[in-house]
Structures are given as C-alpha cells and as structure tokens.
Amino acid sequence: MSKSLRINKNNFIDQTIRVSFKFNGQKLFGFKGDTLASALLANDIHLVGRSFKYHRPRGIMTCGSEEPNAIIQIGNDPSSTEPNVRATEIELYEGLESFSQNCWPSVNFDIGGINNFLSPLLPAGFYYKTFMWPASFWEKYEFFIRHSAGLGKSPTKPDTDLYDHQYAHCDVLVIGGGISGILSAKLAAEKGLNTILIDDKNCLGGSTIYQEDDCFKINNEYSNKWLKKEIDNLKNYPNLLIKKRTSVAAFHGYNYLLAKENLTDHLGINERKNKIRQRLWKIRAKKVVIATGSIERPLIFNNNDRPGILLNSSIKKYIDFFGVKSGNEISLFTNNDSTYETAISLNKSGVKVNTIIDIRENSNSTLVKKVQKIGINILWSHTIVNTNGYKRIKSINVQKLSADGENVVGKKIKINCDCLGMSGGWTPMVHLFTQSGGKLKFKDENYIFIPDINKSPSDQISVGSCNGIFELDDLITNTIKNIKIFLDLDKTIYDNLNVICSKETEKRNIWLLPSDKPLSKTKPFLDFQNDSTAKDVKLALREGFKSIEHVKRYTTTGMGTDQGKLSNMHALGIIADTTGTNMGDLGTTTFRPPFTPLTFGSIVGRNVGEFFDHIRKTAIHDWHVENNAKFENVGQWKRAWYFPKNNETMFQAVQRESKAARDNAGILDASTLGKIDIQGTDASEFLNRVYTNAWSKLAIGKCRYGLMLNEDGMVYDDGVTTRLGENHYIMTTTTGGAANVLSKLEDYLQTEWPELDVYLTTVTDQYSTISICGPRSKNIVKKIIPDLDLSDANFPHMSFKNSKIDNVNCRVMRISFTGEHSYEINIQSNYAKDVWIKCMDAGKEFNITPYGTETMHLLRAEKGFIITGQDTDGTLTPSDLQMDWIIGKKKYDFIGKRSLYRSDTIRDDRKQLVGLLTEDPLEVLEEGAQLVEDINKKPIEMLGHVTSSYFSPNLKKSIALAVVRGGKKMKGKKLIVPMENKNINVTITDTVFYDKENKRLNA
Amino acid sequence: MFIINCPYCGERDQSEFSCGGEAHIERPKQPTELSDDQWAEYLFMRKNIKGIQFERWNHAHGCRKWFNVVRDTSNDKIHAVYKMGERPPLK
Amino acid sequence: MLNFNSTIKEEKIFGDIKIAEVEPIIKINLRSKKREFSKKIGKILSILPPTEANTSSGNEGYNLLWLSPDEWLVYSNNKKQSLKEQIDLEDRLFDEISKLNQGAVTNVSDHWVMINFKGNKIYDLLSKSCPFNFNEFKRKKGSVTQTLFNHIDVILHNRDNNELNLFVRRSFSEDLWLWINDSARFI
C-alpha cells in the first residue's frame, strides 16, 4: 500500500502514535484514535467481507453502528475471540487481530461467490421453498447451510474477561452526545438536576464537532469551535455524569434503560488485565432525552453494493475526523443538500470530486452554490444505472431521469471513479422511542417516521434529528424550546443564540431508482447484510405477502445484525409504491432490543462461576466439609448427601449409614427444613384451615404431622408442627417449600382471613436442627442434656420439651422421619456446630454415624413416608397417596377440601401411590422408570412410574415407591418395568416395607 | 421492569414484588355447598384481560404485604394501587 | 459453655470502603396490630416503634426498625451484652406482648447476620446489584429499607453519613459476603 490515503491535519487522531494491527494475517498500521474501519481505509482496503447469500464482495459502507458489511471476527484466542463486530465501531489498539467472516477460503477468493452467478435460482424464500422436504433430510441440509452461511465463530472456551453491573437513578438521562444531546444535558445540569449523558463514541459532539465551514456558524463562530467550548465546559457540573463508549441497548417501560459501557476494548491486550471489560448500566431515569440523531440512507440502484461505495456522510467523517481519504477519484450520488458538505470537505483536503449526480432538478442553497463555485461538475436529474468493478468499484454508468422518475432517458455516460458516495436522505433513529412503547407518525415532506409526542409512553422527549429536524438552526431552536418545556425552565443560557446555516429547499425522493435494464436483470440491494434486493420485496408482494412483518421475514430484509437500520425505510417505500399504500398507514416493523448487540458477559455481570447461583449453608456446614461429606443441591442449599469413608462409593456409604442408623445411632443435619413461628389467639383455628387434619385438640407440648393442600386438592407441602404454648406453634415445612409456604400462608391471612389474630415469622435460619435417631439415640441425648427426663411417660413420641444445653436454650422434639426412636434438637444457629460436635463426642461410645440426605431418603422409604416433590408432583390428592386417614372429614373447611370430591378427584383410575418389590431382590429400579402391564400391546400403555427406589440394607432387598393408575386396588398384581435392554418384573405391595407396627419408635 | 408504588413502602422496583394474579376473586365462604361447576369457576376461571386488569401483588422482598393494582396489561401502565379490603377505584 | 460460631468473623477494607460483621447482636422481631403494643414497647425499651414507613427509632441501647405496618425489628447496639441479658430481654418482651395477646415476639438473633458498611462509596457498591434508589435513603439518617441485594433479601439501616448496617439471613450470609468482596474490588 504505497499510496498514502492519510492527510496531515485534524484534531481527532493522534498521528504521533502508530498502532500496529493485523487484518486477515496482514500486518498493517493505523494511528491512535482510528477505528478498525478508518485504519483499513487508510491502507486502501475496502473489501472486507462477503455477502450472506450470494457471497458478493463487500466493502466498508458506513462509519457507525448501522454498518452492514464490515462485520469482523476479532482475535483468535478461543476464550475471547468475538464474532460479528463492526469494524466501524471498534477502536484500534496495539496488536488487534481481525478476520473477515463469511468467506472461504479467503475474502479475495471465495468459493461461495458462485452463488452470485446462481442468483436467479436463489430468490426470496429460496431456503423456505427448497429445504422443506423430505423432513428427515433437514439435518443434512442444515449442515451445509450452516457451513456456507458464514456467521462468525463463537469462542470455544469460557470467557475469561470480567463484567460488571451498576444501577443508577437520575433525574434526567440524555442519550446521545451530539449537539442536541450536549445542549439538553447542559440545560438539565444547569438547573441542578442529577443528569447522566451517554454517548457510544469516545468523542462527544456528534457530526457537528468536525463541521468546520462558514455555511454553519453559531454566535459568529464555526459550529465545531462553538460546540467544543460547550463540551469543555461540561466538566464544571458535578451533578452531570458523562459516560462515553457507552451505548443504550434497551429502553424499557417506566424509563428503565440498559446501557453497555466499554471499558477496555480500546486498550492494548496487556493493559486489560484485572480490569472490568464491560459494565452494564441499569438506569432508572425520571426523565429521558433521546438525542440519538439520524442515519444517512443509501440509494437503491443497480449494483449499489460494490466495495468502494460508501455513504456520503461517512466519506465526510473519514476525511474530516479520521483524516482518511476513501478514494482518490470520488463521485457522489445524492437526492439532498447534505452531500454538498462532503464535496466541500473533500475539496478542502485536496481530494478530487469527479461528479455529483443529483436526482433533483436543481437546488440553490448556499451549500450548492459554494460547490458550484469550486467548479465541481453536477449532473441534475440524473441517476446511476449501473456500477462496474468486482472487488472495487471502477466506474459508474449514468443516465438522465424521466420527469416522473420511473425511467431513464438519453445517452448513457460512463464515469470512472475508485469510490462512490451515496445519500438518499436521513432516517431519524427512533428505535429507542419505539422500544419504550412509543408510536410513530409519518412526516410526508421528508419521507420519515418521527415520534408522535402524543403517543409517548413515559416522561421522555426526542430532540434533534432523531425527531426529524435536520437543519442546524431549526435543530438548535427546537431543542432549546422543547427542553425548556420538558424541564420546566424559565430562562436559559441559550436563549439568544445566533445560528447561521444553509437551507435546503428542493427535495426529490425515489425509493427504487430506475435502470436501463428491466428490474429482473438488475441487483438493487436493500439489505446489504442479508442480500435481499428490491426484486425480492416485489416478489414477496406478488406471492401475496401483505403485512410488512411477513415481507420482512420472508425476504429477511432487516433481519441482519444491523437490524435494518440502513434500508428498512426503502423496503417500506417500495411496498407502499407497489401496493399504492400510504407509508404512514403501512407502519414500520417492530424495533426490539438490543439496539446494538450485547455480549453475554455483560448480561450476566459478576454472577458467573461461584456466583452463578446462591449457595445457602447450614451452621454445621463446615463440619460436614471437614468430615469428607459429599453435597447435594436442594434448592439453593448445600446439604450433606453422604459421608464416604476410606474409598467407599456412594452406594457403599449409604448402605453403611442406613444400617448404622437402625442398629445403633445416626445423626443428621436437618437445619434446612423451613420453620415458621406462629403466634396469636387464632393460631389453632388457622392451622385447622391450612392443614387437612384437626389441630384444636393438640395439647401444649405435643407435635403433629400435617399435610397442606392447594385449593385444587393436590398435596402441596407437609411437616411437623409443635404446640409450644396456648397461642404459640412452630411449623416445619419441606426445605424447598419454605419460602412458598410462608408466602401462601401470609396470602390467606392477609386476604381471605384478615379477621384471624395470627402472626407468622420465619425462623428457618434462627434455629439449626440436629436429628439423632436409632435405638441408642436416647443414650446420647441423655449425655448431652442430663437434666431432661427422657422416659416414655415424661417425653413420649410426638412431644417436645424446652431445655438448655449449657446456658443456651433449646427445643427438643421427639419426632421421627426414619421410623426409629429419635430426637430433634433445635438450637440457635450460632451454637449449633458446637452442639453437633458434642453429640458426636457423646455418641462415640454408641457408634454414632453421621448420615446425609440419601440415607434419610432411604430410611423413610423403608417406612413408606412420602417426600413431597419426589413422590408427589402436584397432581396427587391425599387419597391418591393412600393417606385418607389424615383428612379431617368432620372439619367444615380447609384449603383444598372442596376439591377432594370433585368428579375428577374421586375417580378410581387416578394415579395412586403404591409400593413395589422386584422379582429379583437385587435389582434396583431407576427412579422415573415407566410401569406397564402388557409389553406387547401397541402403543404400549404406561400405567405409572417409579418415584423412589433404593436397595434396603435393613431388609436386604430392593424396594421402591411408585404411582400407578388405579394402584390402590392392585396389591399383589405383577407389572413390568421395561428398560433399554431388559424387562424387570415387579409386584405391587403396601407402601410400608419396614416395621409395619411402628414398634421401633418406642424401642 | 416497572415501578410499583407499594401502598406501605412507596415506589419500588418490580423485582421486589410478586404477582398473585387476578384480584377480587373471593374464596367462597361455604365451599361445601357449591356444585362442582361453581367450585371450578372459583378455582380455575380467570379473565386474563388485554387492557385494564385488577391484580393482586405482594411486596415479597419488602414489607410482605399483599395489595391490589390496577394495571393496563397492554402497556404496563399502573393506574391505581390500593390496600386489601379497600374499595377498588374506577371499577 | 457452648462456643459461639458466627459466619463471617472478618473485617475487610477495599479502598475507602470498610465492611465487617458485627456479632453477637440480639435481634427480635415484633409483630402487632394492637393499640397497647406501642406503650408496652416504650416501657421496656424506652423507645416507641416508629409508625412512619422506612424509618427507625433508637436510643443508646437499641434500634427499632419499621418493617411493615405491623412488624418491627429490634436490635441492640451492644456487642458485649451477655446471653443471659439477651434472654432476659426476650423473655420480658414475650411475657408482656405474646403472652398477653398483644402481638408476637420472636427471637431472630441468629436468623440475621449484621454487616456494617462504612465509607464514601458504599452506595456505589450496593448499587452494583441493588435496584433500590438510595438517593433519599442516604440523605436521611435512620432510614430503613428492605430490598434485594444480589437477589438476596436484606434489611438496610442508615446509621450515619456513609455508614449503614445490613442484615442478611444467616444461610445466605457467606455467599453474599464473598460476592461483596468480589465486587468491591472494582469500586
């Protein structure tokens, strides 16, 4: 690249600091302040990728987030490589490595390019039409489609970067740091309001900051000079927070916005260590000012997609801001005055402007006059009918437009150029306004959709060109006038600004420009990224698609990563013209967040790795860790699952623990059970209403098991509740159900039964629960609490005693979930670990064995006790569980009672809980396995499934619980559990396998 | 994420609340006297309106109080908030 | 004597932020809708339960935080209070309120873990994962709020300019503590 495309002037690029980078393996240089795109252009590289469908060569087209072509893969580290990055948005840093996407084997020679010649065979909906059948072939099709449709490559290793979140609450949020945004932010800050100003670039000032021309003056200064002073002055406001390199991704209801701040992406790789890469701001603003500006439109003409074709405003920014010439012989194609600013800038920098092709008949603005004075050739009423050059534009063919603009007339002129600018006018960036729920209205004279202020969903305002006001004087006057009303300001520092600018009077808009060839022989691209042309849209209309949303999906127009920012409007215009509809009636497609793509990292923030989900620990957790426990997740709790000794497997450990608990003594940390303290004069009545059984007669000091239903009669939760005093109970819930039960009970108390005098307070974390079971549990508790009389007469099964361990109060319950004689010690959590250690010491001589949840599950299954959530799934009534005994039939009402005799709940063939024994006592069933009767019947009829299954060391055989259709009446019946490679024969039994007479409770 | 003006605590982020569905569906005082159809009407039937809907909300991560909200489900605009037992506005 | 085992036992400094667990501290949950309640509390604690939402009352010994129209949290300022003194206070409150059907008294000393935050940037730290708007809260000494911090329920009590106490359930406390330690690095 010998010819220098860099000019030696400007204030935005630091030409003293050279930055090296790589593009497709080639080492190149740019300067600090460049974007990847500007650095590539400075190296005369336009061709950066291939289009999606036809694999046509594509070049850099814009200088912002609307870029459809320069979609780049950054880096090749498997943990940090990033696909689909716009070269126009990434700031150049030392060592940047970048690669073209969507081309193979290389961007210069791309095999998929053959699609370009096959394009008559690839019309809109081609994929939908072709790959429909046979359905079984889809997987094969998918393989090829995915390989030829080259989206970038995802990283294959975990992201090692750091991300963060931050909430912010402000009075005023200003989105966009162009001139309207700066004026708005300053007025808000001047009033003393807490203000945040956000801009996605590193440099505030929008396009005005490099607008140095005597056609544009504010208070007799160049507009850029004036604005620069205003920006410099912003730092004097402590109540104004400015966030650069930050882009708003989403504008939700109630002025809740998400914005992504880039903190390290512009730094050299070595400077990034231990720094947050991106921070997602979650902003709640009382008022929002949208000043997102506008995007220049392309023009839709034949072969308008060649490398070297850029938007006119981008050519201007590259020369004025980055000091980069987009070419050495430039032609400009336009329908409006703004292009003449580009011509003036290019001329000032010594770049030759061949010709300006303007579809209008004339224009007499000061800008146009200035260009005419320079001597640049202008072809009025002309259009480009074709462009030439495969990997870079070489020339254009120009012809005169007919008066109605539908045809071309006269002789074709060929003009050579290495760069073509185009401008079809400007589209206000109304995306955020519509994301927030705002409705648009169509402004006919500019062919634009603008926010309808009467249909604004929240306290917000759009100012500047995103509100459809484009000329500097109008824009400033309007912004100040509207902000004054919006922020209720009286007089402002900007009340007497004197603004001079060129005024545009002539307008002409043609959505689809004619060519000398019929439409079917041309390629006027609409969506450059997805390769859809004006032809495709017309085809969709001919095929009967009417809704804009359908046309969009069928043609994929506007579905690329640029989300149709560039040319959705043209698609709408062509549909409106073709169908004879008014554009305002047609409406737009829906703009959805994010406005610009977000990284997954920024969405997740710090909640990765160990912080992915919360970890709840019991007060005894550390002891379990020290004693080699394996843990199980129960909700967010870490519960000790089993305690392997030496090299035991889980099976071996659980067998040992289960046996020890029945032979000697076992100890379990049951602290995770939910505990609710219930007080109040109506506490007994309350329990009557929430549990199925009766509670009024429960004596003080006694415990009772209760079953809680939903109103639909299905079992919801269960647990033991203890009467501590006349009006005082403590309820236990399942571990997983704790929060939901409390909230459900509060709901009934507050809304259905406000007359009840009852208070609920959760004490789950206040008390830790140590459960000691087995024939020798009594000996151990005696040693821990010598003063407590443990005789059956004083302390029978299902009762409780207040006691003390040393100087600390505790509650001891004699209740059992294992069927063994057992005690639960409830003590303030901060003393629990010490009590546990005491129990272990005291139990040593009785061979005490710590056990985990797996052994607990096994022991209760031997006794046929259910676990809600394992044996139940929200579709079983107490009767289905063979627990009719727990229904207080005499009670007038309780939650779910009426549902217990609905026609559906009294059916005989409901799934019901049964026990299962396998023919082979050593065969342990898989939980979840299906049960069938007739293995040969087709389709095979599934009668139920296994809910719990274990090998019982105490019974020396396999046992299981299952739910089976009509199971209650099937005792003794033989069923089959069909598995992948065998059928297991089982017999339906009673649900209680061990100690049916409950002798061991009092042993 | 909308903001809900809890009648007890004031304006808070939606994430502090949980929604309890349609409001003003009173639990029948004498369920045993209802037919299956009548009970099913209470148990299962909900309106799920597009537009102004009366809903129950719970300030679950705040004061734990239940209250009613009048919300336009088409745009999430909250028109009124009132305590349990209070007369609904607009209705 | 049993050993007291709190969860965090640490004090950390990150720039100008200082965070530390403050335990053992007695905490008692109070519930009531009765008229006599306020008077009885006044007699025992020498402070009246605040009726205004999101506020607290307090004296040298105790703080009374508003949690809802019928719920308050009492906590002591005295780390050196003996267990016996704590139990005596709980018993007195229980006897006067619960036993006389004036409401409910529940000891929640070990249900909550109290963490003290000090420094200029504590609200920036909280706002990393707290949707609550602290603009009013931080200006008003004694302010109370219940909200979510990193999706975990917390009670916050503004003690002074740039100083607050945070209450988190014991089982979540270690998780939240580690999360705070991680996030505070980036303040």
CATH code at position C171:
3.30.1360.120
Considering just the CA atoms, what is the radius of gyration of chain B in Å? 14
Sign of the CA dihedral running A571, A575, A578, A584: negative
Q: Where are the alpha helices (DSSP H) in chain C?
A: 36-45, 83-93, 122-126, 134-137, 170-184
Predicted local confidence at residue A567, as pLDDT: 82
In this complex, the residue of B13, B64, B65 whose CB is nearest that of residue C132 is B13
Is A830 within 8 Å of C23 when comparing Cβ atoms?
Answer: yes
The stretches in chain B having pLDDT less than 70 are 90-91
CA count, 13 A, side-chain hemisphere, A339 = 30
Question: Residue A913: how many CB atoms within 10 A of its CB?
Answer: 24
Close Cβ partners of A79 (under 8 Å, ≥ 6 residues apart): A155, A156, A157, A158, A159, A160
Q: Which residues of A touch B36 (CB under 8 A)?
A: 902-903
Contacts of A654 (CB under 8 A, 6+ apart): A642, A854, A855, A858
Give the Cα separation of A32 and A16 in Å (integer). Answer: 8
Tell me if C34 is assigned to some domain: yes
Residue A363 in contact with residue A500, Cβ under 8 Å?
Answer: no
CA A686 remoteness from chain centre: 43
Q: A276: distance to nearest CA of chain C, Å? A: 7
Q: Are the Cβ atoms of A254 and B32 closer than 8 angstroms?
A: no
Which residue, C108, C135, C165, sits at the end of a domain? Answer: C108
Beta carbon pairs, B and C, within 8 Å: 39
* Alpha carbons A931 and A942: distance in angstroms, whole number: 6
Task: Indicate if A418 and A398 belong to the same structural domain.
Answer: yes
Q: Do B76 and A253 touch (CB under 8 A)?
A: yes
The answer to whether B50 and B71 are in contact (CB under 8 A) is: no
Say if CB A391 and CB A281 are below 8 A apart: no
Tell whether C152 and C172 lie within a shared domain.
yes
Q: A673: which 2 tokens?
A: 């059970």
pLDDT digits (tens, 9 = 90+) for A568-596: 899 999 999 999 989 888 888 778 888 88
Total domains, chain C: 2
In a shared domain, residues A699 and A771: yes
- Give the residue numbers spanning the domain of A725: 674-859
Classify residue C1: in a domain, yes or no.
Answer: no
Residue C86 belongs to some domain of the structure: yes
CB-based contacts of A1000: which residues, under 8 Å, 6+ apart?
A662, A775, A819, A820, A821
Do A182 and A288 lie in one domain? The reply is yes
Look up the domain containing C121 and give its range: 10-24+111-187
Alpha-carbon distance A948 to A928, whole Å? 8
Q: What is the mean pLDDT of chain A?
A: 93
Note the pLDDT tens digit of each residue in A903-961: 999 999 999 999 999 999 999 999 999 999 999 988 999 999 999 999 999 999 999 99
In a domain, C136, yes or no: yes
Which residues touch A555 (CB under 8 Å, ≥6 apart)? A124, A125, A527, A532, A536, A537, A539, A540, A571
What are A102's two structure tokens?
């969507």
CA A449 to chain centre: 29
- State the pLDDT at residue A247: 96
Provide CB contacts within 8 A for A620, sequence distance 6+: A669, A671, A768, A770, A832, A833, A836
How many inter-chain contacts (A to C, CB under 8 Å) are there? 139
Residues of C in contact with B61 (CB under 8 A): 146-148, 153
Q: Do C3 and A194 touch (CB under 8 A)?
A: no
**Looking at residue B91, what is its pLDDT?**
56
Q: Same domain, yes or no, for A48 and A98?
A: yes
pLDDT tens-place string over residues A90-144: 999 999 999 988 665 566 666 666 666 666 656 666 655 555 556 666 666 665 5
Give yes or no for residue A962 having a pLDDT over 90: yes
Distance CA(C146)–CA(C67), nearest Å, equals: 7
Contact A163, A442 (CB under 8 A): no
Whichever domain contains C44, its CATH number is 3.30.70.1520
Q: Do C111 and A679 touch (CB under 8 A)?
A: no
The residues near A129 (Cβ < 8 Å, ≥ 6 apart) are none
Please tell me whether residues C118 and C164 are part of one structural domain. yes
pLDDT in tens, A40-93: 999 999 999 888 778 889 999 999 999 999 999 999 899 999 988 999 999 999
Angle between helices A548-555 and A568-579 in degrees, nearest 10: 120
Q: Is the pLDDT of residue A902 over 60?
A: yes
Residue A2 pLDDT greater than 50, yes or no? no
- Burial class (CB within 10 angstroms; exposed 0-12, middle 13-18, buried 19+) of B62: buried
Domain residue ranges of chain B, discontinuous segments joined by +: 3-83
- Name the pTM for this structure: 0.93
pLDDT at position A532 = 87
CA distance C97 to C91: 10
Number of helices (H) and strands (E), helices first, in chain B?
1, 6
C183: chain A residues, CB-CB within 8 Å: 164, 606
Query: Predicted confidence band at A547 (pLDDT cuts at 50, 70, 90)?
Result: confident
Q: Are residues A967 and A851 in the same domain?
A: no
Q: Is the pLDDT of residue A24 over 60?
A: yes
Q: How far apart are CA A435 and CA A253, in angstroms?
A: 9
**Which tokens in the block code for residue A959?**
């046992």
In A381-418, beta strands by DSSP E: 382-388, 395-401, 408-416
Instruction: Say if residue A509 is in the same domain as residue A475.
Output: no
For residues A142 and A148, give the distance between their C-alpha atoms in angstroms, rounded to a whole number: 10
Q: 3-state class of A82 per DSSP?
A: strand
Residue in chain A closest to B4 (alpha carbons) equals A254
Task: Of A558-572, A825-839, B68-82, give the lowest mean pLDDT range.
Answer: A558-572
Query: Per-residue pLDDT for A150 more than 60?
Result: no
Boundary-marking domain end, from C91, C108, C125: C108
Residue of A nearest to B84 (CA): A751
**For residue A293, pLDDT beyond 50:** yes
Burial class (CB in 10 A: 0-12, 13-18, 19+), A225: middle
CATH code where residue A588 lies? 1.10.10.1100
Of C82, C108, C134, at which residue does a domain stop?
C108
For residue C104, what pLDDT is reported?
A: 98
Euclidean distance between CA atoms A129 and A160, whole angstroms: 42
Of the candidates C53, C69, C131, which has its C-beta nearest B13's C-beta? C131
- Pair A724, A842 in one domain: yes
CB contact under 8 A, C128 and A637: no
Mutate to test the interface with B, among C54, C72, C129, C143 (most CBs of B within 10 A): C54
Rounded to an integer, the average pLDDT of A337-344 is: 96
Beta bridge partners of A415: A396
What is the CA A750 to chain-centroid distance, rounded? 35
Domain annotation covers residue C56? yes
Give the residue from A791, A825, A859 where a domain finishes: A859
Distances A349 to A108, A275, A357, A377, A525 between C-alpha atoms, Å: 31, 40, 21, 18, 31
Pairing of strands A822-828, A767-773: antiparallel
Q: Is A547 within the bounds of a domain?
A: yes
Q: Using CB atoms within 10 A of its CB, is residue C61 exposed (0-12), middle (13-18) or buried (19+)?
A: middle
Q: Is C2 among the domain residues?
A: no
Residues from chain C contacting residue A677 (CB–CB below 8 Å): 104, 106
At A531, the pLDDT band (50, 70, 90 cuts) reads confident
| pLDDT reported for residue A146 | 56
Whether A631 maps to a domain, the answer reads yes
Q: Is residue C95 part of a domain?
A: yes
With CA atoms as reference, the chain C residue closest to A277 would be C186
Q: What are residue C169's DSSP bridge partners? A: C112
Q: Does B11 touch chain A (CB under 8 A)?
A: no
Contact present, A69 and A58 (Cβ < 8 Å): yes
Q: C33 and C15: one domain?
A: no
Q: Domain for residue A4, yes or no?
A: no
Contact A606, C174 (CB under 8 A): no
User: C67 with C125, same domain?
Assistant: no
Indicate if the pLDDT at residue A655 is higher than 90. Answer: yes
What pLDDT score does A1 carry? 42
Q: In this structure, are A686 and A750 located in the same domain?
A: yes
Report the alpha-carbon distance of residue A754 to residue A747 in Å, rounded: 10
- B15 vs C: CB within 8 A: yes
Domain match, A781 and A679 both: yes
C157 sits in which H/E element: strand C152-160
Query: Looking at residue A366, what is its pLDDT?
Result: 94
CATH (one of 3.40.1230.10, 3.40.50.720, 3.40.50.11540, 3.30.2270.10) for B3-83: 3.30.2270.10
Domain count, chain A: 7
Q: So what's the pLDDT on residue A587?
A: 83
Same domain for C103 and C174, yes or no, is no
Terminal C-alpha separation, chain C: 42
Q: Which residue has the higher pLDDT, A546 or A247?
A: A247
